[in-house]
Amino acid sequence: MEEHIKDPNELLNSIEELHPTDIANSLKKIYKNNSDEFYFVLKQLPDEILGEVILELPEYIREDTYGELSSEQLTDAVEEMDSDDQTDIIQEIEELDKEKAKEIFEGLEEENQQEINWLKRYEDDEAGAYMQTELFSANINEKIGDSIERLKHLKAEGELENIHQVFIINDDKMLLASISLEDLIIFDFEKTYEDIVNSDDNKYKPFKVQDDEDIDFVAKQFEQYDLSVVAVVGYQGMLIGRITSDDILDVIEQNATEQMYQLAGVNEEFEHEDNLLTTAKKRGIWLFINLGTAVLASLVIGLFDQTIQQYVALAILMPIVASMGGNAGTQTLAVMVRQLALGEIDYDNSKDAIKKEVFISLVNGFIFALIIGFIASFWFSTAMLGVVIALSMVINLFSAGFFGASIPLILKKFDIDPAVGSTVLLTTVTDIVGFFSFLGLAKVILL
């Protein structure tokens, strides 16, 4: 694992021994150096491996291959994929070349076409969009041994992999139970599934989710119940697919990325654009909002222009108060947003969370008030200047803690993602409170 073969012929010779992920990683390196060699290898890959390799390539390379590979070769590769991957790839090709996507789609087996049409109806955040329809199910009246014979055939045809469970259904395809292979393998193969299921109702109760369930909720279920697979059911509890833990790993990683980006004012969706101007524009929108709040803060400073003119030390010191408030607030915000997402903070304990943050910010407020108070007094040889900056430090760090904790909660109450926009809202508060308290107190106390 993790070694790259850079010679195309050597790579082709080792294909049998390599995992598709490793082939993709090697191809990625080859693509960078010489795209002719890349396609030389790609076009000679057997269909099944080609399909898996395409899925493991980064999106920007994958999109290039759609133009280079023939419709026939792509059709054969897609045919070998699981239904969820088939759907993703067809949709990806559609965005680049509607005609080619149609050709490939129509080249697929009837059954695959129907599955893709079904899966395409799901929204990006629905469980159904992450499920694969390939699974191993058995009728409750089936003899275990018979179903294992079926499994043998399905596996020989390459139709099934990563089977950890057999899903038990009735004649109406309603999901009744789920039996892990480790339980199945020790049973008498002459018995029927009914015999197993009746032996222990609870043990074989299936973990299932509705097809339109939010995928984030599904991910939470995986974490809470330590699942490796979950059944997806549709109309009237009919079994229609399954979601496996490897899909959920991706969901969790993706969610964390989005959240981190949102806190920083970045829209993840537009970060992988070919056209950097689009990325710049999307980031620019957040910067524009920030410009608005910065101008607002300047208007507050403008209220005190005469005070500043009389006392230029104020201009020198004022960014300190705002900066400290912004940083303390960012700390609080990160903790609140993340703990809300992880479910560690909910409405039951939101008051405790606010109290905690206010306490922490007040403790640090008093400590840094003392420090900066002394610094300012000695720097400008004016004791009262120290008092002014110390007071405004306490006020601003208090608002950082209070608003840093409240803003995400309020956003959530209005069903807005707490990570989106909370940073801008918060720095607006800490800037305005910081400048206003510092300059206002200076005007009252110093002049």
Of residues 75-134, which lie at the interface with its own copies (CB under 8 A)?
none
Nearer residue to its own copies within complex by CB, 43 or 155: 155
Choice from 234, 237, 265, 440 touching its own copies (CB under 8 A): 265
211: Cβ–Cβ under 8 A, 6 or more apart, which residues?
122, 126, 127, 128, 131, 232, 233, 234, 240, 241
Q: How far is CA 42 from CA 66, 68, 90, 118, in A?
A: 12, 10, 19, 30
Tell me which residues in 181-220 interact with its own copies (CB under 8 A). 181-186, 202
Tell which positions 46-75 bind its own copies, by CB under 8 A. Answer: 56, 58
Q: Quick one: which segment of 93-101, 102-110, 235-243, 323-331 binds its own copies (CB under 8 A)?
A: 323-331
CA 263 to centroid of chain Cα atoms: 13
Q: Specify the residue for token string 């790993």.
A: 249
The residue count of the chain comes to 447
Interface positions, 141-180, toward its own copies (CB under 8 A): 148, 151-152, 155, 160-164
Q: How far is the CB of 166 from its own copies (least distance, A)?
A: 10
Residues numbered 220-249 forming contacts with its own copies, rule: CB under 8 A: 221-228, 244-246, 248-249
Q: Applying CB under 8 A, which of residues 41, 93, 297, 353 lies at the interface with its own copies?
A: 297
DSSP 129: G
Rank residues 360 and 384 by Cβ distance to its own copies and give the closer one.
Answer: 360
Using CB under 8 A as the binding rule, whether residue 442 contacts its own copies is answered as: no
What is the spatial distance between Cα 378 and Cα 129, in angstroms, rounded to a whole number?
Answer: 64
Please select the residue that binds its own copies; options are 7, 67, 98, 284, rule is CB under 8 A: 284
- SS3 state at 303: coil
- Closer residue to its own copies in complex, CB, 353/387: 353
The footprint of its own copies on residues 329-348 (CB under 8 A) is: 330-331, 333-335, 337-338, 342, 344, 348
Footprint of its own copies on 358-377 (CB under 8 A): 359-360, 363-364, 367-368, 371-372, 375
* Cα separation of the two ends of the chain: 71
Residues of this chain, 402-441, that bind its own copies according to CB under 8 A: 427, 431, 435
Considering only CA atoms, which of 75, 65, 58, 21 is closest in space to residue 43? Answer: 65
Residue 414 CB, nearest approach to its own copies (Å): 23
DSSP 183-245: HHTTS-TTSBHHHHHHH-TTTTPPPEEETTSBHHHHHHHHHHHT-SEEEEE-GGGBEEEEEEH
Nearer Cβ to its own copies, position 71 or 431? 431
Name which of 373, 360, 341, 437 is nearest 402 in CA terms. 360
